[in-house]
Chains A and B, each alone.
Chain A
Amino acid sequence: MTLNAAERERYSRHLLLPEIGAAGQERLKAARVLVIGAGGLGSPASLYLAAAGIGTLGIVDHDRVDLSNLQRQLLFDTASVGAGKAVAAQARLRALNGEINVVAHELELRAANALELLRQYDCIVDGSDRLTTRYLVNDACVLLRRPLVSAAIHRFEGQAMTYVPGQGPCYRCLFPQSSAGAAPSCAEAGVLGVLPGMLGALQATEAIKVVLGIGAPLVGRLMTYDALAMEWHEFRFRQRADCAVCGDVPSITTLADSEASCRSETTGQWPRYKPEELARQLRAAALEQRKAPLLVDVREQHEFATGHLPDSVNIPLADLGLRLEELPADCAVVFVCRTGRRSLAACDISSLGGLRSVADLEGGLIAWAAAIDPSLNVA
């Protein structure tokens, strides 16, 4: 795949590097890289990969651009708000580099479509915002033998690793499985806008190295970054013989959507109160002097401290399993959190733990503040 005159000019600084040169640049042009998630990480990663001349760049996202995305998602501008992310990203990347082919995949990655999609690419960059997607992508990469550059962020911290088939451990070797409430998303926990810039640029670097076969990718190494301390740390980790997907006797031989992922999308399983309904219930219980449902706030302690519903108790989601005995089995429990995501997981956990009457607040305290009490300070 030879370079035309415009490409030789565009990539001239790469061509000067002995590690890349014309042969390397042609290799980048022939490469197919898929970026999962056009978010904080996917923005810098895809911009740098497009600028670097990756010949076919796929972008997967089923979401729409929200005003709150613009603090960190540099693919989009104010005029993009409301547009489909994959298509808006495609337009931006095409404007940056018309020499490459940018493919928009406007879909949600699921077990049913992941293998078919990932199979079309040589290297996968995971910038998704959900742990269940991270495991799905990892498992697909192991099954398809595709390299994976993975990164994740939280508040002021980030982490990254690279999986290369046959050369080292996978994401599941590092973190064998997820846990409800273990890792809140950016929407729930907040994130420094510039943080994903560091990690997304790292991902683009790793993907380019993997495609070119140069340098030492983060295989068997976890990089962590703390923006507040301005520290990078590197940790070594090994392949696990008992890894469920890349171990000696793998139990994962095909893809499946995780239970948590499925449940979180079939929200009809538990009663979900709209703010107005819950407010009505609480008022009626007070008027009729009967027992009101117990409000359990499953956010972290610092979120609870910022502001919470009157008479609510705080049990962070990650502690809920151990503290279920604190909740009376004969009392109706309504879980609340910031957006309604953690409260839904709490319904699952408490129901499995034997509580009979559980429900949650749809839309969380954000919705409550909007509909019932604007003075509620929601962290």
Chain B
Amino acid sequence: MNTVRVPSPLRDYTGGVARIGASGSTVAEILGHIEQQHRGMRFRMIDEQDRIRPHIRIFVNQREVRSLDEAVAPRDEIHLVCALSGG
């Protein structure tokens, strides 16, 4: 099970929880597992063409994910980051 860090704009889907667990060997599988647990959350991050939405970034540990096919190791931490606008 990997740890996934959820940014506050998406926490409505996780009941306010900042860290959730999800399993998978690729980013796509992790996102699929997130969607099973928190319906509608994947669509906030991924568009209909399976592209990461332009105001969302996904990082595996410190590394930026550019493709959903990228591999995820068992202990990797997934960080979902959302563009914030407040000042």
Chain A positions within 8 Å of B, measured between CB atoms, are 37, 39-42, 126-131, 134, 151-159, 174-179, 182-186, 189, 191, 196, 222, 224, 226, 228-229, 233-238, 300-302, 316, 318-319, 322
Interface size on B, residues (CB 8 A): 27
1/0 per residue, CB under 8 A from A, across B68-87: the answer is: 00000000000101111111
> Which partner residue on chain A sits nearest B15 by CB separation?
A302
Residues of A within 8 A of B3 (CB): none
A237 to chain B, nearest CB (A): 5
Choose among A129, A175, A226, A302 the residue that contacts B57 (Cβ–Cβ < 8 A).
A175
CB pair B55 A191 closer than 8 Å: no
Inter-subunit contact B43/A179 (CB<8 Å): no
Chain B residues packing against A (C-beta within 8 Å)? 5, 7-9, 12, 16, 18, 40, 43-44, 48, 53-55, 57, 59, 62-64, 79, 81-87
Q: Given A179-B54, A179-B55 in contact, is the A184-B9 Cβ separation under 8 Å?
A: yes
The contact of B86 among A185, A233, A316, by CB within 8 Å, is A185
Closest CB in chain A relative to B60 CB, distance in Å: 10
Listed by A's residue number, 15 A-B pairs whose Cβ atoms lie within 8 Å are: A40-B86, A126-B87, A154-B85, A157-B84, A158-B84, A175-B57, A178-B54, A178-B83, A179-B54, A189-B86, A228-B18, A233-B79, A235-B64, A237-B57, A238-B64
Determine which residue in A176, A186, A238, A318 has the highest number of CB atoms from chain B within 10 A of its CB, and name it: A318
How distant is the Cα of A238 from the Cα of B63 in the complex, in angstroms? 10
Give the residues in chain A near B8, CB-CB below 8 Å: 154-157
Q: List residues of chain B with CB within 8 A of the CB of A300.
A: 12
Please give me the residue from chain B that is nearest to A303 by CB atom: B12
CB neighbours of A235 from chain B (8 A): 57, 59, 62-64, 79, 81
Given contacts A153-B84, A301-B12, 5 further A-B contacts (CB under 8 A): A37-B87, A155-B8, A177-B54, A318-B44, A319-B44
Contact B55 A177 (CB under 8 A): yes
The 8 Å CB contact of A176, one of B9, B12, B54, is: B54
Q: Which residues of A contact B84 (CB under 8 A)?
A: 152-154, 157-159, 183
CA distance A157 to B8 in the complex (A): 7
Contact A153 B57, beta carbon cutoff 8 Å: no
Query: How many Å from the CB of A210 to the closest CB on chain B?
Result: 19
State whether A175 touches B54 (Cβ < 8 A).
yes
Q: If A237-B64, A301-B12 touch, does A222 touch B86 (CB 8 Å cutoff)? A: no
Bound complex: CA of A186 vs CA of B8, how far in Å? Answer: 13
| A302 lies within 8 A of B12 (CB) | yes
Question: Within 8 Å CB of A128, what residues of B?
Answer: 87
